[in-house]
Structure 1
Amino acid sequence: MDSSTHKVYHVHDFDSRQHLEHYFSDKSYMVFGDDFLNFLIENLRQVFAVGHINGDILVDLSVGSFIHHLYSASEFFKNIIVLKVNNKCIMELKRWVDERTGAFYWGHTSALLQEKEEISDQFEDKEGKVRSSIQHVVKYDLEKENITEPLVLPPADCVISALLLESVSKDQDDYIRYLRKFSGLLKPGGHLILIGGLETTYFTVGKDKFHAFTYDEGFIRKTLVEEGFIIDYCKVKERTAVSDLIDYKALIIISAHKEK
């Protein structure tokens, strides 16, 4: 399939359950555990534990309907507002939040975090903590000046975005434009945490290939600095997964705060 025929995440139909099965499940064929599960959980734990990132409101803008990147965040924020681009992603997430039949299983990820935190003598309900922290699940439109119109969100202490900017941006200008929209959700001095796949050109969901904007570490660092952010934490992990579902070369987690 030529890249010009790839679907676009926020424009075309997106199977959120298939996305979860491909990249985040506990199935034997899921080869991304070290990258999309272990790397995200471990580094986000460090970002929140040592970065003094906390407050009342965290806004999450991420691809699909995964939740394990919010485990550590839920320990430091009273309220999480999740923004989703389409109804399927909203329904998938709400099915899990409401503990309805057929919800995606996340027990393998909460167990992974407990192992890292060396919690053995007492069970801690990581998933329950995230559920109780998610106050709203809101649909958004990136092309609107206020992406949650007609709702006006309160300024956030932190915005976290995982694997989204490369999925919705066709080029550098798009990436910067959307980053500014995310930044606009922050309070002065607020924190932005970005998770991305470096040098990705596509990702697969079911039978469909989706477009991804290709960028490297230098680009994201330069862009954040030029947009008035001070970078506090950055970790890059070279790819270990062997699969043709997605062609990223490495993953990056980068945390920064906005100059007041």
Structure 2
Amino acid sequence: MQVAAESRVTWDSQKPRELREREESEVMENKGVKEKTMEDGVAAMAACYAGFDPAAYLQYNYTAPRADFTRRDSIVPWKLGCLHRAFTEGDISGGLLVDVGSGPTLYQVLSGCEIFERLVLTDFLEVNRRELKRWLQDQGKSSLDWTPYLQHVCKLEGRGALAWSEKASRLRAVVSDVLPIDVHRPQPLAPGALPSPGADCLVSCFCLESVSPDLDAFTRALGHIGGLLRPKGHLILIGALGESFYQGGPGVQIPVVPLDEAQVCSSLKQNGFTLMRLEVYVLPDDMRVGVDDVSGIFFVKARKE
């Protein structure tokens, strides 16, 4: 084997200079084409969000039947239950929780806000950041009444529904920033946005698969946000299974990377995460309300090594 390797090196070194330069140029050209294709795909995804309507999105996905708190098999109560368990098992702790790609929603941090002293919300779209700020600043202009969500999580915590106003005050107190983010950049947040060790925990719900043109881009984006997390920090990831599109507003159809559980696990492993728990929710027929073609939802709890 050693002789063969040495022979290959010798043969390569004896190639005509023009041939070597042409081959090197072709490699660089192919790399450039691949990078340009990736950039074009990401840009096309960003263009899809130009007409995103937070109020319509919330109406489609965060009202009954998908947010029916009287049903155990409704999507939103299932997600809130997973989040509650993840944050109350005793292994997640620290000072800083970052929500990656918050969208116009708050449900994903209602359990975590009790654990952390500082919480950072993020989103690529200004319209979503503005929606979040309206609720946080208590301007009474939020597009969705989050009271039933607050009440449900309080019940899960054994506090009773009447404690919801305390939880709302707690959430408003610990959110320190609502920041722009681009998960397709190696450094998704502006320099200095987080302390140098990174966040103690990340939450990301329905973000990466819905802003990535393909599986490779999803995996890269997962690696990028992993850079925001300190070693041994935790990742809570919720996303769609088998989904190819969803409605982001009237007439606004946004493509999604159709994922399965194996692909999610592989992407986590490639980016240095250890899977701690994977749960899957399969949509009942009456939850398929025509605003997407999702077949299921995954919940992941993982640790960065």
TM-score by length of 2: 0.77
RMSD in angstroms over aligned alpha carbons? 2.0
Alpha-carbon distance in structure 1 between the residues aligned to 2:161 and 2:238: 32
Specify the alignment match of 1:231 in structure 2: 275
SS in 2 for 1:213: coil
Question: Which is further off, 61-70 or 9-18?
Answer: 9-18
Specify the alignment match of 2:214 in structure 1: 171
Structure number having the greater helix percentage: 2
For structure 1, the residue ranges without an aligned partner over 5 or more in a row are: none
What are the Cα deviations for residues 51-91 of structure 1, in whole angstroms up to 9, with x where unaligned? 51111111101352100110110111111111110110011
What are the Cα deviations for residues 140-182 of structure 1, in whole angstroms up to 9, with x where unaligned? 2334332223544221001110000111111111011100111
CA shift in 2, pair 1:229/1:149, >3 Å: same
Do the aligned residues in 2 keep the contact of 1:141 with 1:148 (CA within 8 Å)? yes
Whether 1:120 aligns to 2:120 is no
SS in 1 for 2:140: coil
Whether 1:136 aligns to 2:177 is yes
Q: 1:257, CA displacement in angstroms?
A: 0.4
Do the aligned residues in 2 keep the contact of 1:9 with 1:167 (CA within 8 Å)? no
SS in 1 for 2:204: strand
Counterpart of 2:224 (choices 181, 193, 206) is 181
Q: 1:121, CA displacement in angstroms?
A: 8.6
Specify the alignment match of 1:192 in structure 2: 235
Whether 1:17 aligns to 2:42 is no
Alpha-carbon distance in structure 2 between the residues aligned to 1:97 and 1:140: 19
Q: 1:48, CA displacement in angstroms?
A: 0.9
Structure number having the greater strand percentage: 1
Q: 1:122, CA displacement in angstroms?
A: 5.8
* Larger RCO: 1 or 2 (CA < 8 Å, sep 6+): 1
SS in 1 for 2:80: helix
Specify the alignment match of 1:109 in structure 2: 149
Specify the alignment match of 1:32 in structure 2: 66
- The structure with the larger Rg is 2
Whether 1:79 aligns to 2:128 is no
Percentage identity across paired residues of the two chains: 26
The one-letter code of the counterpart of 2:185 is K
Alpha-carbon distance in structure 2 between the residues aligned to 1:10 and 1:63: 19
Alpha-carbon distance in structure 2 between the residues aligned to 1:143 and 1:219: 19
Do the aligned residues in 1 keep the contact of 2:202 with 2:234 (CA within 8 Å)? yes
Question: Which is further off, 16-25 or 180-189?
Answer: 16-25
